Amino acid sequence: MIFFLTIFLTRMLRSLLILSIVFNLQSLERKLVRVPMTSTREKGLIVSFGEMLIDFVPTESGVSLAESPGFLKAPGGAPANVAIAVTRLGGRSAFVGKLGGDEFGHMLAGILRENGVDDTGVSFDKGARTALAFVTLRSDGEREFMFYRNPSADMLLRPDELNLELIRSAKVFHYGSISLITEPCRSAHLKAMEVAKEAGALLSYDPNLREPLWPSPEEARKQIMSIWDKAEIIKVSDVELEFLTENKKIDDESAMSLWHPNLKLLLVTLGEDGCRYYTKKFHGAVQTFNVNAVDTTGAGDSFIGAFLSKIVDDQSVLEDEKKLRKVLRFANACGAITTTKKGAIPALPSDSEALSFIKDNQRRKDNTFRVGYVSCLHSSLDSRLQQIPCSR
């Protein structure tokens, strides 16, 4: 009798213990830290400067442009991608650049407006076409580009065409390097940077290297680095780090060779390996999320857009490593989601999509842990039951 009572009580205790563990895990899951988001009206303005174009993405991956059976028309251009990434996440953004006075140009301006981007900084050129890019997708989702822009309208933006009032209203001014390739756009770029900085904007720089557009690799490095010490936030990919440092090593020493005194944060994106971050006081790495990548176009733009949207009104993130890591995890999630669809802008996630993605990923991890832990607990308790002496 005592033996059966002992077994009954032990099994009841085991069940209560398991239920307690499950309850605590679920409670922890509900308390997962979410990146705080304020309303659109409270958000500062992020102004993105540069090019917007049409990407033609092959319907089949792993084939050459000539072999592709067809192409999907997708709006793109890194600075425009960033502007839309910000508004998709509930932020405020504006785009400054020049489009062709053709159907593609007006279509792109319409897409900006449809996505809530302020397009009062957009001008049109009736004598030039909107830029086109044909994208080759490799079987692993990586891509190569063929551009049609000789010259395209974005290259012809003049300093006197800039909407200076819009630029002065920016809390963050974001730009790339393609607008540095030729005049008069180069002068317009430098003027816009100067005006934004004088107005107190935080300068954000993503070189977005497109080597085929430059006369030579040497000229690309020279021009990209010519404005390097102006930026306070710089984001480069692992490929761009190799290119700029002329060093095949992707490590802290190589990254820190790009540091300059005015810099507040250097970000290095590593694709499926996440990202690394460097500040004056600390550095580290944040892992990304595992997804089935279909097209990596726009992933880096989604990443930096998400990041800027979360720090535009709270720049203390740049000095607080714990907060920075949370924001970078959110940015990694946005970048990962963007690779799961073809085309850049169509694949950019909303805030709710990104948060659900993070929560689902965490739930899968918790379930894996819970199953493993409960299984281990069962085995341990069964082992102890076998050790209880039989009393009759």
Q: Model confidence over 217-264: pLDDT tens digits? A: 999 999 999 999 999 999 999 999 999 999 999 999 999 999 999 999
- Helices H / strands E in the chain, number of each: 11, 13
Three-state DSSP class for residue 291 = coil
Asked if 133 contacts 53 with a C-beta cutoff of 8 angstroms, the reply is yes
pLDDT at residue number 34:
43
Tokens 């500040």 identify what position? 279
Strand order in the sheet with 53-58: 71-76, 53-58, 132-137, 143-148
Residue among 174, 85, 164 at smallest CA distance from 121: 164
H helix or E strand, kind and range, residue 33: none
Q: Packing angle between helix 299-311 and helix 78-88, nearest 10 degrees?
A: 50
pLDDT at residue number 140:
59
For the record, the structure tokens of 15 come out as: 């069940």
Q: Give me the residues paired with residue 167 across strands.
A: none
pLDDT at residue number 23:
46
User: What is the residue type of 214?
Assistant: W
Instruction: Round to whole Å and give the CA distance between 80 and 96.
Output: 9
For the record, the structure tokens of 264 come out as: 């507040």
H helix or E strand, kind and range, residue 198: helix 185-198
Burial of 104: CB neighbours in 10 Å, binned 0-12, 13-18, 19+: buried
- DSSP E strands in the chain: the ranges are 45-49, 53-58, 71-76, 92-100, 118-125, 132-137, 143-148, 172-175, 202-205, 233-237, 265-269, 275-278, 283-286
Instruction: Round to whole Å and give the CA distance between 191 and 20.
Output: 62
pLDDT at residue number 293:
85
Query: pLDDT tens per residue, the chain (392 residues)?
Result: 554 445 555 565 565 555 454 445 444 444 443 444 444 456 899 999 999 999 888 888 777 788 888 888 889 999 999 999 999 999 999 999 999 999 999 999 999 999 999 999 999 999 999 999 988 766 655 667 788 888 999 999 999 999 999 999 999 999 999 999 999 999 999 999 999 999 999 999 999 999 999 999 999 999 999 999 999 999 999 999 999 999 999 999 999 999 999 999 999 999 989 999 999 999 999 999 989 888 888 999 999 999 999 999 999 999 999 999 999 999 999 999 999 988 788 899 999 999 999 998 888 766 654 545 455 555 655 665 556 554 44
For the record, the structure tokens of 127 come out as: 């004598």
Q: Dihedral sign, CA of 257, 258, 264, 266? A: negative
For the record, the structure tokens of 198 come out as: 């004088």
What's the Cα-to-Cα distance from 73 to each of 117, 181, 207, 377, rounded to whole Å? 20, 25, 24, 55
Which residues fall within 8 angstroms of residue 288, CB to CB, at 6 or more apart?
270, 271, 272, 273, 274, 275, 332, 333, 335, 336
pLDDT at residue number 144:
73
pLDDT at residue number 391:
46
pLDDT at residue number 380:
57
Neighbours of 26 (CB within 10 A): 13
Instruction: Round to whole Å and give the CA distance between 331 and 310.
Output: 9
- φ/ψ of 289, rounded to 5, equals -115, 145
- pTM score, whole prediction: 0.82
